[in-house]
């Protein structure tokens, strides 16, 4: 058995803004109801960032908590990747702002833009640095203020999203190259730009000169989600040399409970192995996986040595999955 370097997750942390917005709160603003939203999505409430909070503020809080759990100081961090679709500014990257606010020394800092799949994409990039010996203490963050991209007159989208941030610390660890190793074991990343019109934001610096609002063809997105995600999960598991049946915890992007249930059913994963936070957080895009991950660790369900499967699908369309052992 040969010795290989693996990228181990050594700390997980999360941050949610204080304000809770329930479905009933939304029903006071737009023509909707708790029953409609809950039946179709499983969402009960979401968090909304305060007007003076930017995405980097949420990201910094999540990163601080993940570093604390990992027993690392900001001065030891040598790579920051922020997965976000709601950056503070068009540039610099939110990761550069996070670096300044955390007091991290000069190192590579950049954002990954793959919308809801951003965290999965960012983990694969971090693995590239850590497993090749280019980083000894990477911080990977998913952070979003999705409520700022909403068209609050479009009840078909504005009820679905929320704000938050989650982060992991990734460090090198030696392994055997087998599926029994700790660390990131395999991933699958996909994008089909032909399906851009199903989910996008209708603004940008070089088109409208505005930030824009999120637009979605919900039914079409739903139709692709279960098939695409299942395909990526099987590909990631195969590359990781693990079986889907051996997964301890399935940590999906929290878009919609019906998508979570559909994917789990298709893959034969029992409901008891699925971490679901969609009821409390709604869809926080790139933040939803690390938020759910942190929740599972904090409440004691997810434990060291367990096999985890992270998956997502989002605008692009992008989708993907990561298999890792904690
Ligand atoms: N409250 C009440 N009624 C509503 C609301 C609302 N918030 N939104 C839409 N409706 C109405 C529509 O106007 C329509 O009324 P009509 O029949 O009189 O015209 C009716 O409900 C049905 O609308 P649809 O859009 O067809 O509703 P559907 O059953 O498809 O549910 C939903 C919409 C929940 C968005 C669903 O398509 C879905 O879950 N899609 C998945 C998309 C998703 O989760 N995207 C997240 C981003 S992508 C990702 O992260 C994977």
- pLDDT tens digits, residue range 246-272? 999 999 999 999 999 999 999 999 999
Which tens digits make up the pLDDT trace of 114-124?
999 999 999 99
Which protein residues touch ligand 1 with a CB less than 6 Å away? 32, 36-37, 40-41, 116, 155-156, 159-160, 199, 216, 218-219, 221-222, 225, 253, 255-256, 283, 313-314
What's the mean pLDDT in 36-40?
Answer: 97
- Contact predicate 22/34, CB 8 Å: yes
* Residue 156 CA to ligand 1 centre (angstroms): 5
- Contact predicate 117/313, CB 8 Å: yes
**Mean of all residue pLDDT scores within the chain:** 97
Q: Whose CA is nearest to atom 22 of ligand 1?
A: 156
Task: Report whether pLDDT(57) > 90.
Answer: yes
- Packing angle of the helix pair 288-298, 55-70 (nearest 10 deg): 40
* Residue 2 CA to ligand 1 centre (angstroms): 51
Nearest atom of ligand 1 to the alpha carbon of 285: 50
What's the mean pLDDT in 147-153?
Answer: 97
Q: Is 238 exposed, middle or buried (0-12, 13-18, 19+ CB in 10 A)?
A: middle
Task: Report whether pLDDT(1) > 80.
Answer: no
Closest CA to 129 of 187, 81, 93, 60: 81
Q: Is 18 exposed, middle or buried (0-12, 13-18, 19+ CB in 10 A)?
A: exposed
Q: Whose CA is nearest to atom 9 of ligand 1?
A: 156
pLDDT of 171 reads 98
Q: Domains in the chain and their CATH numbers? A: 4-175 (3.40.47.10), 183-325 (3.40.47.10)
Which tens digits make up the pLDDT trace of 217-226?
999 999 999 9
Integer Cα distance of 45 and 115 in angstroms: 21
Which of 35, 219, 320 for mutating ligand 1's site (highest number of atoms within 8 Å of CB)?
A: 219
Task: Report whether pLDDT(85) > 70.
Answer: yes
Q: Which of the residues are catalytic?
A: 116, 253, 283
* Residue 147 CA to ligand 1 centre (angstroms): 17
What's the mean pLDDT in 168-190?
Answer: 97
* Residue 46 CA to ligand 1 centre (angstroms): 17
Q: Whose CA is nearest to atom 11 of ligand 1?
A: 156
* Residue 218 CA to ligand 1 centre (angstroms): 6
Nearest atom of ligand 1 to the alpha carbon of 160: 46
pLDDT of 2 reads 75
Task: Report whether pLDDT(155) > 90.
Answer: yes
Q: What is the CA radius of gyration of the chain?
A: 18
């Amino acid at each position: 058995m040969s010795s290989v370097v693996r990228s181990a997750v050594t700390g997980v942390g999360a941050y949610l803004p204080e304000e809770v917005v329930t479905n009933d709160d939304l029903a006071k603003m737009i023509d909707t109801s708790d029953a409609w939203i809950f039946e179709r999505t499983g969402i009960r409430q979401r968090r909304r960032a305060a007007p003076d909070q930017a995405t980097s503020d949420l990201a910094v809080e999540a990163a601080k908590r993940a570093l604390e759990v990992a027993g690392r100081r900001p001065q030891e961090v040598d790579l920051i990747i922020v997965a976000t679709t709601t950056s503070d500014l068009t540039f610099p990257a939110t990761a550069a702002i996070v670096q300044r606010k955390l007091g991290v020394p000069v190192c590579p800092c950049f954002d990954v833009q793959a919308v809801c799949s951003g965290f999965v994409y960012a983990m694969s990039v971090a693995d590239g640095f850590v497993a090749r010996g280019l980083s000894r203490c990477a911080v990977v963050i998913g952070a979003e203020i999705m409520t700022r991209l909403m068209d609050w007159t479009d009840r078909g989208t504005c009820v679905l999203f929320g704000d938050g941030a989650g982060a992991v610390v990734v460090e090198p660890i030696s392994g055997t190259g087998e599926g029994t190793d700790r660390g990131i074991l395999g991933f699958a990343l996909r994008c089909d730009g032909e399906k851009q019109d199903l989910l996008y934001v209708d603004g940008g610096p070089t088109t409208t000169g505005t930030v824009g609002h999120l637009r979605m063809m919900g039914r079409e997105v739903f139709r692709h989600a279960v098939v695409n995600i299942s395909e990526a999960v099987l590909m990631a598991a195969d590359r990781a040399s693990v079986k889907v049946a051996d997964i301890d915890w399935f940590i999906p992007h929290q878009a919609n409970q019906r998508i979570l249930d559909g994917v789990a059913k298709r893959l034969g994963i029992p409901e008891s192995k699925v971490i679901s936070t969609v009821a409390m957080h709604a869809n926080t895009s790139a933040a939803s996986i690390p938020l759910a991950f942190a929740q599972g660790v904090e409440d004691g369900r997810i434990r060291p040595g367990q096999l985890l499967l992270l998956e997502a699908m989002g605008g692009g369309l992008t989708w993907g999955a990561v298999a890792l052992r904690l």
